[in-house]
Amino acid sequence: MRILFIYKDYFGRRKLYGKYLEENGHKVIYLLKKHKRDKNSVTVDEIKKAKPDLVWFLNAHYVKYNPNAVEYLQDKKIPMTFYHGVPGRFPFTDWLDIWKKFTIVFPVLYELHEYLLKNGVNSHYMPFGFHPNQYYKCIASKKYNVSFAGTVDALVSPKKDNRCRYLNSIKNLNKVVAHSISFKGKLHKNIIVKACKTHQEQKQAYSQTKINLDLPFVSGGTSFYDNIYHLRNRFFEIPATGNFMMSIRCPKFIELFPEDTVGYYDDIESFREIVIKYLKDKKIRNKMAEKSYKLAHQKHTFKHRFKEMCKILKSEL
């Protein structure tokens, strides 16, 4: 199949999606578009030149802001798909007219998947994963007790941002680190804020930390997502490096990593207590980290995800 892959790259990670498609026997034509909200940035001429059997959009923004290209694809009955997360700035229900333009979709958010199925969209739930060439076993001397390698929610105040709230709740523990300068000036002075952007820096942060936090809250400032948790790459990258992770208890999370592989907390009230529990028990942290490491590499790489998606495409298109 000839696949036109329209994407915005991020430290070389998104382009790897195309490489996985190639590994599954497809011919991929890469079309890099840096600004997903630029109107009509994808032209009909570019599509004609690619002669695709399928157009794979990195996310739904390209469909929303390229009506001319989408109209051409629909007219020529060229199928469209995407594999991505949610537009956190507004409820995903606001975009039903956009979701319905796709032939088949692979949302990483289970709640979006359920909503799409109920509304007649051909949806297949597909969580994120990790790139095995970038995240592999990396264990170092533990210089930090607790770390979070992610960004602040810039659209809300620190008092409303759940990442800030959870980190500030353990401000009295020593060596707590937020690995992103986006947290500068937004956390208690006891919490260390460090710069961290590349996957090499993230991997190093994971390796040097006793408890790596996954704070899977949707950014955007809308209450629609208050009780929805969003799996990000971090949920797979931390175990992939052989280091211990804590995340919020969620049925879909536990299906991927059972409770003997990840330390789960229920809410902010139980969070501090669970952190202290695992800080005291190096043996159980190491045992769980080793189990999650094996599971990550056996089932949760992006290679696994794209192999499954290609099987679905072959059976349905």
What pLDDT digit, counting tens, does each position of 33-56 carry?
A: 988 888 889 999 999 999 999 999
E strand intervals along 86-143:
106-107
Domains annotated for the chain, with CATH where assigned, are: 2-127+302-316 (3.40.50.2300), 144-299 (3.40.50.2000)
Per-residue pLDDT of 171-217, as tens digits, reads: 999 999 999 999 999 999 999 999 998 889 999 999 999 999 999 99
The pairing of strands 144-148 and 209-213 is parallel
- Percentage above 70 pLDDT, the chain: 100
Residue 88 pLDDT greater than 80, yes or no: no
Q: What average pLDDT score do residues 291-313 get? A: 98
* Alpha-carbon distances, residue 210 vs 163, 293, 296, 304 (angstroms): 19, 15, 19, 28
With DSSP H G I counted as helix, E B as strand and the rest as coil, what are the percentages for the chain, rounded to 5? 40, 15, 45
Q: Roughly how many angstroms between the first and final C-alpha of the chain, as a whole number?
A: 10
Distance between CA atoms of residues 129 and 51, nearest Å: 30
Quick one: pLDDT at residue 308?
98
Residue 87 pLDDT greater than 90, yes or no: no
pTM metric for this prediction: 0.94
pLDDT averaged over every residue in the chain: 95
